C-alpha cells in the first residue's frame, strides 16, 4: 500500500482536499457536485472511479467482512446471556476461512495467524457457557454445518466417535427443552409452530406453493379455530358429559314437552338432526337434559359418598373452557402483535418491498411468473405515486367523492336495518300467534329463520363489495378495512337482534312451563348447521358453477379471486355463535368441529379448481393480527359478555336443567364458596380469598391502580427509548459523514501518490 505522506504541508493539503470533498456524495464521478437535498445517486460508476488501492482498502473494511458479521452475532448473543458480559472489540478485518465458499474479493488477504486467534477466541467463548447455551449459540451462528461440527467437537473435547447422548449436561438440557416444548405445544395452542402436531401440513405446502402466504393464512386460521373447539369439547366432555352419562340412575324429570309423541312428529323425525328437535331435545346435547342433583357414588355401607355436583360442574366447566380459550386467544394476539408491530415509522416502503416481498415458498412456474408480474406492478405503482404528488381535489370532486361515500354507506345501513327487521319479524310471521314452536306441525318452519340469517350473512357482504367498487379510496388497505367494518356491522347487528328476540321469549316460556334454554340451544344449533349448508351451497354454486362459466365462456379464461377477508369473517361469525351457544348446548363445539372439517375440504378443493393466485399483495401478518384481534374482541368478548349476562341476570327456567331452583346461575357458585368457608377446613382459604378479595371492591380498586401504574411506567420507558433512538440516528449520520470524508481523503491521497510516482518515473526516464 502506498505510504501516507507525512509532514505539515501535506496535512494542510489534505485538509484542503477534504474540505472540498465534504459536500460531495459518494459518486465521485469526476468532480460532479450534487445538491445535498436532491439526493440523487448516479449509476454505479463510483467503484470504477476509485483507484484499485482505495478499493482494496474499502473491501477490507470490517463492516464488509463476513467474519465480522459472524462475530457480531456472537457478541449479540453474549450480551443477552447472563454468564459473560465482555464487550467484544472490533475484530481485525480479515477474510473468513470458515466457509471456503465465500468467494470474497479479499480472499487472498487472509492471514493464518489471525484466523487461528479468532478461532481460539470463539472456542473460549463457547466453552465459558453451559452446554445447552453454547449449542444453541452455535446453531444460531451463520456458519456451515461442517464447520459447526468441528467447533463443537473441539469445544466439548469429544472424540468424534463418541455418541452424543452420553453427555449428561446436554442430555438434561435436551430433556428440559423437549418437556417444555410439549408443555407449551399442548397448552399454548402453538399448533402451527410446533413440529409435533402437524395437521394438513402437506396440503398447506401445496396451497402456499401455488397461491402464496396470503391465502394460506385463511387455512391456518381455520386450523386454529379447530384447535380451540377441540379443547373446549374435551373439557366439556370430561367434566360434564361423562358424569352425566355415567349416572343413568338419576331420575331426570322430563323436560316439559306438553304433548306426547304425536303421529305427525313420528313422520318428521328424519329432520331431527337438522332441527335439533325430536331425539336430540332431551339428550346431553342440550341444557335441559342435565340434572340438578349431585350424582352420587355411594357404596352400600360407606359413610362417605363421593359426590359429583353436576350443576356446579356445569358452571365451572363452561367457565374453565372460556378461560382457557381466552388465555389462548390473548397469547396468540400478543404473538401476532409482536410480529407485526413496526417500531419505526417507515419513511417509505420501497426498500422493504424490494427486500422482503419475494415469497420463496411459491414454486410452480406459473405462480412464480405471476408473482414477478405482481411485484413489478406494485413497484411501478409505488414509483408513480412518489413521482407525482397526491392529486389535489377541488371542491366539486370532493363533494362528489363525499356524496358517493355517503350514498353507499346509507344503502348499507338501510340494508342492515331491513335485515334486522326481517330477523325479528320472521318468527311471529311463521308462528301466527303461537308462542314457542317446540311442538310444531311444520318443523321445516323452524329452519326458515336460520336459513334467512345464513343467506343474509353470506350474500349481503358480496353485495356491499359490489357497491363499494364505485367508491374511490386513497389506498387499498383502507378499502379492505371499510368492507370489514361493514361486514362486521351486519353480522353484529343480526346477532344482537337474535339475542334480543330470544330475551323477549323467556317470559313466554316461563308461563308455558317450557325450557327456554333448550330452545335457545336448538336455535343456535340450527344456525350453525344452516350456516354450514349455505356455505357449502355457496361454494358449489358461486364457485364451482360460476367459476366454470367464467373459465369456459369468457374470452380471457380467467379464474376467480379468493376474498380472504370475507371468508375469515364468516368463520369468526360461526365461532361467535358456538361460544355463545356452549352455555345452552355443551356439545355444540362438536358440531363446529365437524363443520370446520367439512368446510376445509370443500374450500381446499374449490380453491385448487376455481381460483387463481391473488393479483394484489396481501399483508399476511398484519391482516392475521387484525383477524385474531377481531376474533378476540368483538367475537369472543361479545359472546362472553352475553354468557355472563345470562348467568348473572336471567332467571333460569324452573322446570328443567341444572339450575332450576335458583334465582340465577352464579348464585350456586357463590353459595358453594361461602359454604366451603363454613364446613371444610382444607378449602377454607378459598372461601376467605373470595370473600375478601374478589368480592371486595377495595381490593379490585387497588389491583386496577397497580396495573395502570405498570402501564404508565412502560409507556415512559418507551418514550425514553424513542429519544435514545433519535439521538443514535443523529450519531450515525455524523459517523457517515466522517466515513465519507475519510474515504474521499484516502482517494485523494492515493491519486496524489500515484501522480507523484508517475512524475518520478517520467523524471527518471
Partner 1 sequence: MGGTASKLPKELLSEYQELTFLTKQEILLAHKRFSELQGRENGPYGSRVSMEKILTLPELKSNPFRKRICYVFSTCDLGDGSLSFEDFLDLLSAFSDSATLEIKSHYAFRIFDFDDDGTLDARDLEKLVNCLTGETDDTRLTAEEMRQLLNNILEESDIDKDGTVNLSEFQHVISRSPDFVSSFKIVL
Q: Within positions 97 to 116, which residues make up the interface with partner 1, using CB under 8 A?
A: 99-105
Q: Is the dihedral of CA 346, 349, 352, 355 positive or negative?
A: negative
Question: Could you count the other beta carbons within 10 Å of the beta carbon of residue 126?
Answer: 21
Q: Work out how close the CB of 664 gets to partner 1 at its nearest, in angstroms, rounded to a whole number.
A: 45
Q: Work out how close the CB of 569 gets to partner 1 at its nearest, in angstroms, rounded to a whole number.
A: 22
Q: Return the beta strands (E) in 209-263 as ranges.
A: none
Nearest CA to 398 among 486, 474, 467, 465? 474
Q: Give the number of residues written for the chain.
A: 765
Among 258, 260, 348, 678, binds partner 1 (CB under 8 A): 348
Cell of 522: 336448538
Cell of 245: 352419562
Instruction: Report the site for partner 1 in 128-147 (rule: CB under 8 A).
Output: 135, 138-140, 142, 144-146
Q: Is 32 in the site for partner 1 (CB under 8 A)?
A: no
Tell me how many residues contact partner 1 (CB under 8 A): 93
Q: Work out how close the CB of 487 gets to partner 1 at its nearest, in angstroms, rounded to a whole number.
A: 24
If you search the block for the grid coordinates 355443551, which residue do you land on? Answer: 586
Stretch in the footprint of partner 1 (CB under 8 A) among 66-74, 118-126, 641-649, 700-708: 66-74
Residue among 195 and 389 whose Cβ is closer to partner 1: 195
Stretch in the footprint of partner 1 (CB under 8 A) among 40-48, 238-246, 286-294, 678-686: 40-48
Among 31, 82, 301, 360, binds partner 1 (CB under 8 A): 360
Among 5, 14, 24, 27, binds partner 1 (CB under 8 A): 27
Q: Is 47 in the site for partner 1 (CB under 8 A)?
A: yes
Q: Work out how close the CB of 260 gets to partner 1 at its nearest, in angstroms, rounded to a whole number.
A: 60
Q: Is 25 in the site for partner 1 (CB under 8 A)?
A: yes
Among 54, 65, 118, 606, binds partner 1 (CB under 8 A): 65
Please tell me the distance from the alpha carbon of residue 625 to that of residue 220, in angstroms, as a whole number: 13
At 627, which helix (H) or strand (E)?
helix 620-630
Strand partners, 294: 309
If you search the block for the grid coordinates 458480559, which residue do you land on? Answer: 85
Among 24, 66, 184, 326, binds partner 1 (CB under 8 A): 66
Q: Is 351 in the site for partner 1 (CB under 8 A)?
A: yes
Which H, E and C letters describe 3-48, residue by residue?
CCCCCHHHHHHHHHHHHHHHCCCCCCCCCCCCCCCCCCCCCCCHHH
Residue among 94 and 313 whose Cβ is closer to partner 1: 94
- Whether 584 and 240 have beta carbons less than 8 Å apart is answered as no
Strand partners, 296: 307
Q: Is 388 in the site for partner 1 (CB under 8 A)?
A: no
Which H, E and C letters describe 527-552, residue by residue?
HHHHHHHHHHHHHHHHHHHHHHHHHH
Among 4, 180, 182, 354, binds partner 1 (CB under 8 A): 354
Q: Is 381 in the site for partner 1 (CB under 8 A)?
A: no
Q: How far is CA 103 from CA 44, 191, 229, in A?
A: 21, 41, 53
Q: Work out how close the CB of 380 gets to partner 1 at its nearest, in angstroms, rounded to a whole number.
A: 7
Stretch in the footprint of partner 1 (CB under 8 A) among 369-377, 392-400, 606-614, 691-699: 369-377
Among 14, 184, 379, 754, binds partner 1 (CB under 8 A): 379
Q: Is 386 in the site for partner 1 (CB under 8 A)?
A: yes
Please tell me the distance from the alpha carbon of residue 699 to that of residue 690, in angstroms, as a whole number: 11
Stretch in the footprint of partner 1 (CB under 8 A) among 64-72, 120-128, 280-288, 709-717: 64-72
Q: How far is CA 550 from CA 545, 559, 617, in A?
A: 9, 7, 23
Q: Is 63 in the site for partner 1 (CB under 8 A)?
A: yes
Residue among 139 and 393 whose Cβ is closer to partner 1: 139
Q: Work out how close the CB of 123 gets to partner 1 at its nearest, in angstroms, rounded to a whole number.
A: 16
Residue among 76 and 264 whose Cβ is closer to partner 1: 76
- Whether 467 and 411 have beta carbons less than 8 Å apart is answered as yes
SS3 183: helix
Q: Work out how close the CB of 350 gets to partner 1 at its nearest, in angstroms, rounded to a whole number.
A: 5
Q: What are phi and psi of 35, to 5 degrees?
A: -70, 135
For residues 725 to 754, the per-residue mask of contacts with partner 1, x marking binding by CB under 8 A and - elsewhere, is ----x--xx-xxx-xx--x-----------
Question: CB under 8 Å to 209, separation ≥6 — which residues?
Answer: 361, 362, 363, 364, 367
Residue among 33 and 692 whose Cβ is closer to partner 1: 33
Q: Is 120 in the site for partner 1 (CB under 8 A)?
A: no
Instruction: Report the site for partner 1 in 632-691 (rule: CB under 8 A).
Output: none
- Count how many Cα atoms sit within 13 Å of the Cα of residue 366 in the half-sphere of its side chain: 6
Residue among 628 and 643 whose Cβ is closer to partner 1: 628
Nearest CA to 225 among 637, 636, 641? 636
Contacts 24+ apart (CB under 8 A), 99-104: 99/143, 99/144, 99/147, 101/144, 102/66, 104/59, 104/65, 104/66
Instruction: Report the site for partner 1 in 166-195 (rule: CB under 8 A).
Output: 170, 174, 193, 195
Question: Could you count the other beta carbons within 10 Å of the beta carbon of residue 644?
Answer: 15
Among 56, 92, 405, 619, binds partner 1 (CB under 8 A): 619
Q: Work out how close the CB of 174 gets to partner 1 at its nearest, in angstroms, rounded to a whole number.
A: 8
Q: Is 164 in the site for partner 1 (CB under 8 A)?
A: yes
Residue 49 CA, chain-centre distance (Å), reads 49
Q: Is 369 in the site for partner 1 (CB under 8 A)?
A: yes
Among 29, 213, 247, 439, binds partner 1 (CB under 8 A): 213
Residue among 92 and 152 whose Cβ is closer to partner 1: 152
In eight-state DSSP terms, residue 90 is P
Q: Is 281 in the site for partner 1 (CB under 8 A)?
A: no
- Whether 653 and 505 have beta carbons less than 8 Å apart is answered as no
Please tell me the distance from the alpha carbon of residue 629 to that of residue 608, in angstroms, as a whole number: 29
Q: Is 31 in the site for partner 1 (CB under 8 A)?
A: no
Q: Is 764 in the site for partner 1 (CB under 8 A)?
A: no
- Whether 282 and 255 have beta carbons less than 8 Å apart is answered as yes
Please tell me the distance from the alpha carbon of residue 680 to that of residue 672, in angstroms, as a whole number: 11
Residue among 122 and 639 whose Cβ is closer to partner 1: 122
Q: Is 352 in the site for partner 1 (CB under 8 A)?
A: yes
Q: Is 763 in the site for partner 1 (CB under 8 A)?
A: no
Q: Is 334 in the site for partner 1 (CB under 8 A)?
A: no
Nearest CA to 650 among 639, 637, 634, 666? 666
Q: Is 717 in the site for partner 1 (CB under 8 A)?
A: no
SS3 440: coil
Q: Is 332 in the site for partner 1 (CB under 8 A)?
A: no
Residue among 346 and 765 whose Cβ is closer to partner 1: 346
Q: Work out how close the CB of 115 gets to partner 1 at its nearest, in angstroms, rounded to a whole number.
A: 16
Residue among 193 and 254 whose Cβ is closer to partner 1: 193
Please tell me the distance from the alpha carbon of residue 451 to that of residue 527, in angstroms, as a whole number: 8
Please tell me the distance from the alpha carbon of residue 375 to that of residue 616, in angstroms, as a whole number: 9
Exposed, middle or buried by CB within 10 Å (0-12, 13-18, 19+), for 542? Answer: middle
Q: Is 340 in the site for partner 1 (CB under 8 A)?
A: yes
Q: Is 127 in the site for partner 1 (CB under 8 A)?
A: no
Residue among 227 and 274 whose Cβ is closer to partner 1: 227
Among 15, 23, 76, 720, binds partner 1 (CB under 8 A): 76
Amino acid at each position: 500500500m502506498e505510504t501516507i505522506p507525512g509532514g505539515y504541508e501535506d496535512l494542510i493539503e489534505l485538509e484542503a482536499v477534504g474540505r472540498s470533498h465534504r459536500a460531495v456524495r459518494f459518486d465521485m464521478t469526476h468532480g460532479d457536485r450534487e445538491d445535498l437535498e436532491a439526493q440523487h445517486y448516479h449509476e454505479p460508476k463510483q467503484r470504477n472511479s476509485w483507484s484499485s488501492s482505495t478499493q482494496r482498502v474499502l473491501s477490507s473494511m470490517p463492516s464488509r467482512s463476513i467474519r465480522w458479521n459472524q462475530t457480531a452475532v456472537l457478541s449479540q448473543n453474549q450480551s443477552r446471556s447472563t454468564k459473560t458480559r465482555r464487550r467484544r472489540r472490533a475484530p481485525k478485518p480479515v477474510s473468513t476461512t470458515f466457509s471456503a465458499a465465500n468467494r470474497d474479493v479479499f480472499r487472498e488477504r487472509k492471514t493464518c495467524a489471525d484466523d487461528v486467534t479468532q478461532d481460539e477466541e470463539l472456542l473460549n467463548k463457547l466453552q465459558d457457557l453451559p452446554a445447552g447455551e453454547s449449542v444453541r449459540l452455535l446453531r444460531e451462528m451463520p456458519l456451515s454445518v461442517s464447520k459447526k461440527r468441528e467447533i463443537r467437537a473441539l469445544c466439548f473435547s469429544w472424540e468424534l466417535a463418541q455418541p452424543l447422548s452420553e453427555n449428561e449436561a446436554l442430555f438434561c438440557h435436551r430433556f428440559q427443552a423437549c418437556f417444555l416444548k410439549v408443555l407449551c405445544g399442548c397448552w399454548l395452542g402453538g399448533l402451527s409452530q410446533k413440529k409435533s402436531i402437524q395437521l394438513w401440513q402437506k396440503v398447506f405446502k401445496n396451497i402456499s406453493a401455488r397461491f402464496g402466504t396470503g391465502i394460506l393464512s385463511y387455512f391456518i386460521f381455520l386450523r386454529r379455530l379447530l384447535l380451540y373447539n377441540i379443547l373446549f369439547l374435551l373439557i366439556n366432555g370430561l367434566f360434564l358429559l361423562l358424569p352425566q352419562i355415567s349416572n343413568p340412575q338419576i331420575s331426570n324429570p322430563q323436560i316439559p314437552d306438553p304433548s306426547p309423541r304425536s303421529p305427525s312428529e313420528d313422520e318428521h323425525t328424519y329432520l331431527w338432526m337438522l332441527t335439533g328437535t325430536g331425539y336430540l331435545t332431551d339428550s346431553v346435547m342440550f341444557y335441559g337434559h342435565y340434572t340438578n342433583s349431585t350424582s352420587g357414588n355411594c357404596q352400600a355401607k360407606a359413610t362417605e359418598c363421593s359426590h359429583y355436583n353436576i350443576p356446579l360442574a356445569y358452571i365451572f366447566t363452561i367457565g374453565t373452557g372460556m378461560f382457557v380459550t381466552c388465555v389462548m386467544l390473548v397469547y396468540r394476539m400478543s404473538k401476532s402483535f409482536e410480529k407485526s408491530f413496526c417500531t419505526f415509522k417507515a419513511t417509505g416502503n420501497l426498500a422493504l418491498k424490494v427486500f422482503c416481498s419475494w415469497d420463496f415458498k411459491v414454486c410452480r412456474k406459473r405462480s412464480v411468473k405471476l408473482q414477478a408480474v405482481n411485484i413489478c406492478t406494485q413497484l411501478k405503482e409505488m414509483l408513480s405515486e412518489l413521482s407525482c404528488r397526491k392529486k389535489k381535489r377541488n371542491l366539486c370532486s370532493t363533494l362528489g367523492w363525499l356524496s358517493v361515500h355517503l350514498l353507499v354507506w346509507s344503502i348499507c345501513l338501510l340494508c342492515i336495518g331491513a335485515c334486522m327487521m326481517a330477523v325479528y319479524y320472521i318468527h311471529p310471521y311463521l308462528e301466527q300467534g303461537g308462542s314457542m314452536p317446540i311442538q310444531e306441525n311444520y318443523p321445516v318452519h323452524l329452519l326458515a329463520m336460520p336459513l334467512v340469517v345464513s343467506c343474509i350473512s353470506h350474500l349481503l357482504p358480496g353485495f356491499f363489495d359490489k357497491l363499494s367498487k364505485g367508491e374511490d379510496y386513497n389506498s387499498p388497505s383502507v378499502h379492505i378495512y371499510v368492507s370489514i367494518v361493514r361486514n362486521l356491522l351486519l353480522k353484529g347487528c343480526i346477532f344482537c337482534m337474535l339475542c334480543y328476540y330470544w330475551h323477549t321469549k323467556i317470559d313466554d316460556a316461563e308461563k308455558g312451563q317450557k325450557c327456554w334454554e333448550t330452545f335457545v340451544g336448538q336455535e343456535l344449533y340450527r344456525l350453525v348447521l344452516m350456516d354450514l349448508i349455505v356455505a357449502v351451497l355457496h361454494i358449489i354454486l358461486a364457485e364451482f358453477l360460476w367459476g366454470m362459466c367464467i373459465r369456459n365462456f369468457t374470452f380471457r379464461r380467467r379464474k376467480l379471486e379468493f376474498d380472504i377477508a370475507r371468508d375469515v369473517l364468516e368463520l369468526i361469525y360461526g365461532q361467535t355463535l358456538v361460544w355463545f351457544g356452549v352455555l345452552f348446548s355443551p356439545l355444540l363445539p362438536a358440531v363446529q368441529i365437524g363443520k370446520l372439517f367439512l368446510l376445509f375440504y370443500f374450500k381446499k378443493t374449490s380453491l385448487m379448481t376455481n381460483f387463481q393466485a391473488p393479483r394484489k399483495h396481501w399483508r399476511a401478518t398484519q391482516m392475521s393480527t387484525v383477524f385474531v384481534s377481531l376474533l378476540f374482541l368483538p367475537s369472543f368478548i361479545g359472546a362472553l359478555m352475553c354468557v355472563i349476562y345470562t348467568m348473572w341476570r336471567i332467571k333460569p327456567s324452573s322446570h328443567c336443567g341444572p339450575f332450576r331452583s335458583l334465582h340465577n346461575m352464579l348464585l350456586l357458585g357463590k353459595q358453594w364458596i361461602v359454604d366451603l368457608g363454613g364446613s371444610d377446613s382444607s378449602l377454607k382459604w378459598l372461601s376467605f380469598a373470595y370473600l375478601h378479595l374478589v368480592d371486595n371492591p377495595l381490593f379490585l380498586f387497588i389491583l386496577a391502580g397497580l396495573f395502570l401504574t405498570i402501564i404508565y411506567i412502560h409507556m415512559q420507558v418507551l418514550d425514553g427509548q424513542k429519544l435514545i433512538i433519535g439521538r443514535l440516528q443523529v450519531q450515525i449520520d455524523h459517523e457517515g459523514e466522517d466515513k465519507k470524508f475519510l474515504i474521499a481523503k484516502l482517494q485523494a491521497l492515493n491519486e496524489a501518490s500515484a501522480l507523484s510516482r508517475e512524475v518520478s518515473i517520467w523524471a527518471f526516464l
